[in-house]
């Protein structure tokens, strides 16, 4: 019997419409979230439904990895693949720490990086 793939909804705030669109048009190759219980079970083949306001689309997970730190994640991925509009690791770190409670969440849970296709 084939494995049943799970579906997960990733919501984007209106202020992050640019990130949502970058995933949709393929510019952003890796979506990341704090690896909380809500996201840390996402596996290869699962379906991600990305939602921003009334807009939504689906992607399939090509690879899912959990990293303890932003730095360890950047050993595997380029800043541009994670946030195409940023240039450096420092900018990426600042962006993460700008999200509500993200500094604490990353410290506690790490990050999950989802390669989407």
Distances (CA, A) of 60 to 39, 90, 116: 14, 29, 6
pTM: 0.91
Q: What percent of the chain has pLDDT over 90?
A: 91
What pLDDT is attached to residue 99? 87
Inter-residue contact 21 to 57 (CB < 8 Å): no
User: What are 30-69's pLDDT values in tens digits?
Assistant: 999 999 999 999 999 999 999 999 999 999 999 999 999 9
Domains of the chain: 7-116 (2.30.130.30)
Distances (CA, A) of 70 to 4, 15, 65, 79, 80: 31, 22, 12, 10, 14
């Amino acid at each position: 019997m084939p494995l049943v793939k799970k579906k997960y909804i990733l919501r984007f705030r209106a202020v992050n419409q640019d990130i949502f669109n970058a995933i949709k048009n393929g510019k952003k190759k890796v979506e990341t979230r704090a690896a909380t219980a809500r996201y840390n079970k996402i596996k290869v083949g699962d379906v991600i439904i990305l939602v921003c306001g009334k807009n939504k689309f689906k992607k399939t997970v090509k690879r899912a990895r959990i990293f303890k730190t932003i730095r360890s994640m950047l050993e595997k991925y380029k800043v541009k693949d994670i946030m195409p509009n940023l240039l450096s690791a420092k900018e990426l770190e600042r962006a993460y720490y700008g999200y509500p409670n993200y500094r604490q969440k990353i410290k506690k849970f790490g990050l999950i990086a989802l390669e989407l296709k």
